[in-house]
Amino acid sequence: MNPLTGLVTARSLQMGHKWDLVACKLNQAVFAPQIKAGIETRSEAKISGLLWTGLALLSVQGGALAWLTWWVYSWDIMEPVTYFITFTNSMVFFAYFIVTRQDYTYSAVKSRQFLHFFHKKSKKQHFDVVQYNKLKEDLAKATESLKQVRHSLCYAKRGTQ
């Protein structure tokens, strides 16, 4: 038996054992992906509701300004009002930037709110996100290492033939 083949076989067994341990830990938490998927679904639903609420409020604001401009008052009276509403909105968006250090864009706000809702629901359901992510990373590393060892073993067998 070639010493290199013995070394590669031992390494393969060691990596296979490590992979089995990580897979066992992940299998102990077989329900974790279902819990995670449920939390993600509820978080997405909350974000969707939040977006629709924002659209409704902006529509009500636009309708109220149009009603006040064309039916109750004139543009001469409403122009300063719309100016102050626009200025206030700019201040609110700037305050958001100061607090979060992120631009007020759709994708940034959506991802931030998603993570906020996701971690809040995870705490309520006692779902350890950090441990779950660590297990997934360990499984990926072990799978990659096992693949490399198997490739080396296959290459070593070809070299002895």
Confidence of residue 156 (pLDDT cuts 50, 70, 90): low
**In 10 A of CB 18, how many CB atoms?**
15
Judged against a pLDDT cut of 60, whether residue 119 lies above it is answered with: yes
Which stretch of 17-31, 68-82, 123-137 has the lowest confidence by average pLDDT?
Answer: 17-31
Euclidean distance between CA atoms 108 and 10, whole angstroms: 48
Judged against a pLDDT cut of 70, whether residue 1 lies above it is answered with: no
Mean pLDDT of 116-142: 83
Of the two residues 144 and 26, the one the predictor is more confident about is 144
Among 19, 1, 11, 3, CA closest to 140: 19
CA angle 122, 123, 128 (to 5 degrees): 65
Mean pLDDT of 14-21: 62
Instruction: Please report the pLDDT score of residue 160 as a whole number.
Output: 61
